[in-house]
Amino acid sequence: MIERMLQIVAPHHCYGCDKIGSTLCDNCKYNIIDDPFLGCIVCRKATSSHGVCDGCRTSFERAWIVTERTDDVQDTLDGYKFGRQMASARVFAELLDKRLPDFHQMNVTIVPIPTISPHIRQRGYDHMSLIAKELARRRKLPYSTILARKTNAVQLGSSRLERLANAKDAYGLKYRPNPETTYLLIDDVVTTGATLQFGAKALRDHGASAVWVAAIARQPLDKAA
Ligand SMILES: [Zn+2]
Ligand SMILES: [Zn+2]
């Protein structure tokens, strides 16, 4: 309702082409979907369809990234995270939905990477939770917040080593994992892959039998710390 009223007062513009109506228009969404990131989520080398190469050890078996982080995607993400453009939750859920394969009748549970509480307070909403919920709704899959932050350490701007050290102890579980389900962790931007790795490890260490991960964008090499 509020979203609809705001649309009339201040309509969204596409971050890709400036067209009025959505934060990313269908055309620009199609261009993003048409150019998926196909490398290994950790080392970026070409890989099989699993999203992780044979040389990289991870606590998850499969990984998908919608796209390399381009200006359009970054601007849309910034508007979503810092500009109160909640409507983009749907845009990102749609991009993930289109990038992910059909899970057939598999038992998959969607889990957002938890956001630290100062950021949720600042933004007024939990940005990853909204995307993950919308993705779960689109796919008719269960949604769970089993993963919890143990610390409120901020990742942004930290060095690579600091990020790895922070991420290592960042996650705990709210309850025991269901061994019957595959947990699909959802994050926004992958830099080192440490966040998803340690999120997946927390789940595996507590008995989850399978963990997959999916993210919206891969940080380009030159911008990775
Ligand atoms: Zn556009
Ligand atoms: Zn690799």
Give dist(CA 46, CA 39) in Å, integer.
Answer: 4
> What mean pLDDT is predicted for residues 125-141?
96
Query: What's the CA-to-centroid distance between 58 and ligand 2, angstroms?
Result: 9
pLDDT at 105: 83
Whole-number Å distance, alpha carbon 21 to ligand 1 midpoint, is: 9
Contact 183, 214 (CB under 8 A): no
- Give percent of the chain above pLDDT 90: 67
Return the percentage of the chain with pLDDT > 70, whole number. Answer: 86
Give the number of the ligand closest to the Cα of residue 44: 2
pLDDT of 199 strictly over 90: yes
Is the predicted pLDDT of residue 16 greater than 90, yes or no?
Answer: yes
92 CA distance to ligand 2 centroid (A)? 25
CA of 103 to the centre of ligand 2 (A): 24
Distance 181 CA to ligand 2 centre (A): 25
Q: What's the confidence (pLDDT) of residue 169?
A: 74
> Which pLDDT score is estimated for 22?
93
pLDDT at 144 over 80: yes
Q: What's the chain's average pLDDT?
A: 88
User: What is the pLDDT at residue 72?
Assistant: 92
- The answer on pLDDT for 225 being more than 50 is no
Distance, CA 24 to ligand 2 centroid (Å)?
Answer: 31
Ligand that lies nearest to the alpha carbon of residue 45, given by its number in the listed order: 2
Task: Name the pLDDT band for 224 (thresholds 50, 70, 90).
Answer: very low
What pLDDT was estimated at residue 74? Answer: 94
Q: What is the mean pLDDT of residues 160-184?
A: 83
Pick the ligand that lies closest to the CA of residue 76: 1
147 CA to middle of ligand 1, Å? Answer: 35
* Ligand nearest to C-alpha 14: 1
Say what the pLDDT of residue 204 is: 96
Model pLDDT, residue 182: 98
**pTM, whole model, 2 decimals?**
0.89
Residue 83 alpha carbon to ligand 2 centre in Å = 34
Q: Which ligand is nearest to the CA of 13?
A: 1
pLDDT tens digit string along 64-88?
A: 999 999 899 999 999 999 998 999 9
User: What is the 101 CA–ligand 2 centroid distance (Å)?
Assistant: 21
Candidate from 33-37, 146-150, 153-157 with smallest mean pLDDT = 153-157
SS (H, E, C) the chain: CHHHHHHHHCCCECCCCCCECCCCCHHHHHHHHCCCECECCCCCCECCCCCCCCCCCCCCCEEEEEEECCHHHHHHHHHHHHCCCCCHHHHHHHHHHHHCCCCCCCCEEEEECCCCHHHHHHHCCCHHHHHHHHHHHHHCCCECCCEEECCCCCCCCCCHHHHHHHHHCCEEECCCCCCCCEEEEEEEEECCCHHHHHHHHHHHHCCCCEEEEEEEEECCHHHCC
- CB 217 within 8 Å of CB 189: yes
Whole-number Å distance, alpha carbon 66 to ligand 1 midpoint, is 17
Q: What is the crossing angle of helices 127-139 and 88-99, to 10°?
A: 50
Residue 2 has pLDDT above 70, yes or no: no
